[in-house]
Structure formats: structure tokens, C-alpha cells
């Protein structure tokens, strides 16, 4: 029997503890060789183990064996976001140990070999030469008092300790890729103030015995991504010259995958792979796997077959092998959460006018979903607007149990792809240029207004939440608009000027395009920073922050909280020691979700069904 109860008070089996219990997010896959039976390896992030990332080898019977030692987390800190921290060649695992950022190698059953030892260095984006004499990768060197240096290097695998610099001089480098014959090396590089989704250069050089010669630039003046060689030795790259990220054969400029869709994604992390080649040279793209997975994180090939990591609207991340006839099998099954499928109904893709009416914005709308409950007769549910990070990122298109945590309790959720989001072509991605803090906020407000006008949600009970850049959108929405009843900022930006002057190298000039050059445009930075307009911030807010965050340092959260306290605004502050930019530890993920639910309940006057400890709210009698 369906029980009627106020929204927000519904009982749900999707608890914060169940979200992290046994959770394992698969992000990267590597196939060790080109044969149809080549071993498949994958990485798995585990919140229950403090966010540790383990490397496993899949067996054809669906089981998997962990290949890393139990005290090792494989994670790079290059660009702070990492990715591409491991590779496999001839049954040998090469990896970055998060503890010291040094390179190591291990063959199953043998001792670990340490390949590097300079504490100044970090590594990412690993590849091994065919003769297994060199490991080619990105190195980021940190010296006191100066900006980090990013280079492509070749690390000798003969225990000599030799490290040769192959490419230097650019502000950033990525994607070192060796041709099948081992005689050429391709890579990408770019310069401040560009991000890699703005403009990059494609370079190639002759490679021999750990040294490059005849380096030359093949392409520039476009956002070039993911250079890859076909088995026949033809270099390919993803380019947005057409206005969409298309796959191009470099030698003749032929587009092998084009049209009005993006075949790549912004490389916030290393190791992104959205296309690959079968052993016979045929191209594999996202289109070849979309019938199996709705959200793809890594595309590889295994002889004639495809191996892909990704998720669906109803299942979390998994590793799947797809045959030529379209049939598929799981090499690593997703977690069996055991929830009734009625809790995980597919969302609706909606479009609506942007805040300035210039175009259409996009979002995914999730109605409340709980087979045991319905809202009071005639009532409409509260809405949580989700602002993704980046801001050059996109709403997720797969099962996210934290989203279902809200919908199963009676909240509606809209995950907004505001202007600046990727997946809708270059023009939409660039529509946030000079307008960060304006266009993104307008579109989040417009999404909420659209759903309220359509009758899907209660326009008097609107909430907004986001992390990092999404947290900045939250703070701007609460400061400059009077639309939302409350908000949640997860490690969000409060002071653009502080972000521009204090953040890490990768994003240190990001705001030049999103806001304006600093310090020339300092007035804009002040104008759009919520921390300078706290007298206008009268909406209840919960602030959640990692104390080891180097991307958005905790002093920004602390300045904001002091201002809220001085103004008498209801707020809560939850800080997590040992967490950086994003929460990885199970206990902290649980605490953050439960604190946010408790905060919304205290502000809106409902009592959650969950037996959770109420988060302390200052100025609660406001």
C-alpha cells in the first residue's frame, strides 16, 4: 500500500551508508595487448577504504583479482585532478603511488620495483615502449617559489635511474602516444591562459632509444584532444574546428566521426579515452557502445571486440565487453544495490530558454521516485537544483545514488547543463566566456522557474546545491537572487580574486576567459564574488569543505561562514580533515549527505525519517 506523507519525510533504503557501502567506481580500463584474449585491467576507487584506488585484472568468468598491494592507492596529483596514473605492458603494472607520487612497477608474484625517487616530481599519462625499455609519461616538477614545470619524459626501465626530457617549454603537456612501430611520438601541449578545451597544439617527433628528434607542430588553433595512432600507423585526433568535437585523420583532414555531437569530452583528468581502433584498424566510437551504456568513461579494444567502462541509468559503473554482433557480457559487474527498480526511474531530458533568452539550455529532470510513498493530495514536491562543477563539465547520464538519495525521500531534482557545459558543441561551451557567475546562475534559476511553471515542483520550496565551480554558482544564486529557500555549497568558490591568486597551476589562468584577465579586470572579480556582497546573502546555507583542498582552499569557506555569522543568517559549517577537493572517504561522504538533509529539514520544517544526528545550525531562530 502506498503511504501519503510530506515530501522530504519518506523512508528510503537508499541511505548515505548504503551509497558508500561496497561502492567501487571504475574509471579506467587497459587491455594488455591486441589479441582477442588479451588480459583486461581496470581501476577501482573505494570510499570504504578511504578513497583508495586499486588496480584489478578481470577474469573471463566475471571475477577479478587485485594486482596492487593492499596499502597502495594508485593516484596521480598532476594538475591536482590526476588520472592516467597507471598502465600495463606484458603483464607488468606501471603505476603512480599516491603516497609519494613516484613511479613503480610490479609483475604479479614479484617484488615492487621503484622507478623514480625525486620528491619534487609527479607523474601521469603513462605509456610503455614496445621493447619495454622506456616508460613515456608526463612529469610535473615542483620547485619552491616558482610555477610547476610540466614536461614529457622517458623513464628508463633498466633500473639505471635515467630520465630524459622529450618535450618542454609549453605550460602544459599531455597525451604522449607512441606509434605502433615505436618510431614516432605524438603529444599535445598548450599555454596560459588556455585550458585544454580552449586551444591546444598537436606535436609529433621521431623517437629512438629514449630520445626525440625533428619535433614539429602538426596542428593548432583548435581544442585538440586524444591523439591516437591506428594499428596501421595513421595519427588521429579529436578537433572542434567544425564547432563540434569530431575525430579526424591528421594526414588528410578526413573526419571519421563528425556531425552535430561531441565525440570527446574535456580532459579534466588524464587518461580520457572516447575512441579506439580494433586490431583490423576499424574505428570504435561512443556510438558503438551507447546501446549498452548511457555514460562511458573509457573505450578500449580487445582484438576485434570492444571493452568499455561505464554505467547505465539503472546500474553503476561496470566493465563490459561488446562483440561485433552487438552482444555483450560483463567482465566486472556493477554493485548489486538490491533496490527496487522503481527507485531508479530514468530522468527526463528537458530544454528551456536560457536566462537571457539567447538559446536553449539543457537539464535532466528527476521526479520523486519511491514505490512506497506519495506526497499529500494536491501538493507538489520541493526541487533541488544541481549545478555541476567545472564549470566546463556536464550533468551525469548514469545512475548516481546520491541523486536517488534525494528523489527517494520526496525531492525532485534537476541536474542543469547551463551555458558553458560540454556535450553541446563549441558555441554552447564558449557561451560562458566572460559570463561565469552570470549565465550559469541565470540558467539554474531558469530551470527551476521552468519546472515550477510547468507544475512539476513547488516554486516556494526550491533548493540549490553544487560543488567546486558548482558551489560558486550556488553562492551567486543565493547572493544575487531571491529564488531559493536554502542552498548547499560543497567546497565552493566564494572569492574569485583569491581563486585566481591562490589556486594551483592548471587553473591559475582559467578565469581569464571565464571572467577576464587578472588583475586588469579586478573590478569584475570583486563584483562577481559573493564574499564581497555578503550583506545581500540572506538565504540559509550549509557549507561543506575539505581542509586539505588545494584547488579551493578552506580559507574561502571560513571567510564566508564568518560573514554569515555576522549577518545572523542561518547556516551550518561542516569541515573534513584529510579531505581535498572532493570527498573520498566513506565516513565523510555519509556525514556530508546526512548533514545536508538535516539542514534542509530544519530550514523547511520537516523531520527526515532517517535516524541521523541533526547538524548544528547557527542563527537557527532567525
What secondary structure, in 3-state letters, does 557-570 show?
A: HHHHHHHHHHHCCC
Q: What is the model's pLDDT at position 550?
A: 84
Q: 500 by DSSP, 3-state: which? A: helix
Rg (CA), the chain: 24
Give me the numbers of helices (H) and strands (E) for the chain, helices first please: 10, 36
Q: How far is residue 293's CA from residue 332's CA, in Å, rounded to a whole number?
A: 14
Segment 104-149, tens digit of pLDDT: 999 998 999 999 999 999 999 999 999 999 999 999 999 999 999 9
Judged on CB neighbours under 10 Å (0-12, 13-18, 19+), 614 is middle
Q: What is the model's pLDDT at position 157?
A: 97
Q: What is the model's pLDDT at position 525?
A: 97
Judged on CB neighbours under 10 Å (0-12, 13-18, 19+), 532 is middle
Q: What is the model's pLDDT at position 622?
A: 62
Q: How far is residue 363's CA from residue 360's CA, in Å, rounded to a whole number?
A: 10
CATH superfamily label, 24-332: TolB, C-terminal domain (2.120.10.30)
Retrieve residue 409's grid coordinates: 525521500
Q: What is the model's pLDDT at position 356?
A: 87
154, β-bridge pairs: 136, 164
Collect the ranges in the chain with pLDDT lower than 50. none
Question: First and final CA of the chain: distance in angstroms?
Answer: 40
Q: Which distant-in-sequence residues (6+ apart) come within 8 Å of 339 by Cβ?
A: 13, 14, 404
Please tell me the class of the 3-16+339-604 domain: alpha beta
CA atoms within 13 A on the CB side of 445: 21
How many Å separate Cα 533 from the centre of its chain? 30
Distances (CA, A) of 24 to 97, 169, 306: 19, 38, 22
For the chain, the helix, strand and coil percentages under 3-state DSSP, each to the nearest 5: 20, 35, 50
Q: How far is residue 323's CA from residue 292's CA, in Å, rounded to a whole number?
A: 11
Q: Would you list the domain boundaries of the chain?
A: 3-16+339-604, 24-332
Q: What is the model's pLDDT at position 476?
A: 98
pTM of the model: 0.94
CA atoms within 13 A on the CB side of 193: 13
Amino acid at each position: 500500500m502506498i503511504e501519503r506523507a510530506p515530501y522530504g519525510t519518506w523512508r528510503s533504503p537508499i541511505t548515505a551508508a548504503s551509497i558508500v557501502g561496497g561502492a567501487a567506481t571504475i574509471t579506467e580500463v587497459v587491455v594488455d595487448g591486441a589479441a582477442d584474449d588479451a588480459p583486461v585491467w581496470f581501476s577501482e576507487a573505494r570510499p570504504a577504504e578511504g578513497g583508495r584506488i586499486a588496480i584489478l585484472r578481470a577474469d573471463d568468468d566475471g571475477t577479478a583479482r587485485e594486482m596492487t598491494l593492499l596499502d597502495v592507492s594508485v593516484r596521480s596529483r598532476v594538475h591536482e585532478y590526476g588520472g592516467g596514473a597507471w598502465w600495463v605492458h606484458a603483464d607488468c603494472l606501471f603505476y603512480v603511488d599516491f603516497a609519494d607520487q613516484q613511479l613503480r612497477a610490479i609483475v604479479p608474484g614479484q617484488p615492487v620495483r621503484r622507478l623514480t625517487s625525486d620528491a619534487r616530481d609527479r607523474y601521469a599519462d603513462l605509456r610503455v615502449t614496445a621493447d619495454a625499455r622506456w616508460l613515456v609519461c608526463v612529469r610535473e616538477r615542483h620547485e619552491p617559489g616558482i610555477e610547476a614545470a610540466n614536461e614529457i619524459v622517458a623513464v628508463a626501465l633498466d633500473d639505471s635511474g635515467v630520465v630524459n626530457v622529450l618535450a618542454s617549454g609549453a605550460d602544459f603537456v599531455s597525451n604522449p602516444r607512441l606509434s605502433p612501430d615505436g618510431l614516432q611520438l605524438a603529444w599535445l601541449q598548450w599555454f596560459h591562459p588556455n585550458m585544454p578545451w580552449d586551444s591546444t597544439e598537436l606535436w609529433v617527433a621521431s623517437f629512438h632509444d629514449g630520445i626525440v628528434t625533428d619535433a614539429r607542430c602538426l596542428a593548432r588553433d583548435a581544442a585538440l584532444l586524444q591523439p591516437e595512432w591506428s594499428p596501421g600507423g595513421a595519427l588521429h585526433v579529436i578537433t572542434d574546428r567544425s564547432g563540434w568535437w569530431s575525430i579526424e585523420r591528421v594526414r588528410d583532414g578526413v573526419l571519421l566521426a563528425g556531425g552535430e555531437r561531441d565525440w570527446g569530452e574535456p580532459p579534466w583528468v588524464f587518461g580520457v579515452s572516447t575512441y579506439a581502433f580494433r586490431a583490423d584498424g576499424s574505428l570504435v566510437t561512443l556510438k558503438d557502445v551507447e546501446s549498452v551504456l548511457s555514460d562511458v568513461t573509457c573505450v578500449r579494444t580487445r582484438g576485434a571486440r570492444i571493452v568499455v567502462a561505464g554505467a547505465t541509468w539503472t546500474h553503476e559503473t561496470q566493465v563490459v565487453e561488446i562483440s561485433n554482433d552487438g552482444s555483450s557480457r560483463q567482465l566486472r559487474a556493477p554493485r548489486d544495490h538490491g533496490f527496487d527498480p522503481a527507485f531508479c526511474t530514468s530522468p527526463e531530458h528537458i530544454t528551456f530558454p536560457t536566462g537571457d533568452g539567447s538559446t536553449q539550455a539543457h537539464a535532466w529532470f528527476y521526479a520523486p521516485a519511491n514505490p512506497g510513498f506519495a506526497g499529500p493530495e494536491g501538493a507538489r514536491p520541493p526541487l533541488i537544483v544541481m549545478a555541476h562543477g567545472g564549470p566546463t563539465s556536464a550533468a551525469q547520464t548514469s545512475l548516481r545514488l546520491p541523486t536517488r538519495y534525494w528523489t527517494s525521500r520526496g525531492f525532485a531534482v534537476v541536474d542543469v547543463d547551463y551555458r558553458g557545459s560540454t556535450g553541446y558543441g563549441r558555441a554552447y561551451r564558449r557561451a560562458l566566456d566572460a559570463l561565469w557567475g552570470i549565465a550559469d546562475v541565470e540558467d539554474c534559476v531558469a530551470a527551476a522557474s521552468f519546472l515550477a511553471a510547468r507544475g512539476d515542483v513547488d516554486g516556494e520550496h526550491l533548493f540549490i546545491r553544487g560543488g567546486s565551480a558548482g558551489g560558486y554558482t550556488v553562492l551567486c544564486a543565493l547572493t544575487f537572487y531571491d529564488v531559493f529557500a536554502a542552498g548547499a555549497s560543497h567546497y565552493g568558490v566564494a572569492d574569485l580574486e583569491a581563486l585566481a591568486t591562490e589556486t594551483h597551476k592548471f587553473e591559475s589562468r582559467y578565469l581569464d576567459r571565464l571572467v577576464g584577465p587578472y588583475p586588469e579586470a579586478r573590478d569584475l572579480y570583486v563584483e562577481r564574488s559573493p564574499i564581497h556582497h555578503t550583506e545581500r546573502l540572506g538565504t540559509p546555507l550549509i557549507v561543506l569543505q575539505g581542509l586539505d583542498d588545494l584547488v579551493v582552499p578552506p580559507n574561502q569557506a571560513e571567510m564566508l561562514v564568518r560573514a554569515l555569522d555576522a549577518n545572523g543568517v542561518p547556516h551550518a559549517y561542516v569541515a573534513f580533515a584529510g579531505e581535498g577537493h572532493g570527498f573520498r572517504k566513506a565516513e565523510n561522504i555519509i556525514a556530508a549527505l546526512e548533514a545536508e538533509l538535516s539542514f534542509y529539514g530544519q530550514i523547511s520544517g520537516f523531520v527526515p525519517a532517517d535516524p541521523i544526528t541533526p547538524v548544528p545550525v547557527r542563527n537557527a531562530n532567525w
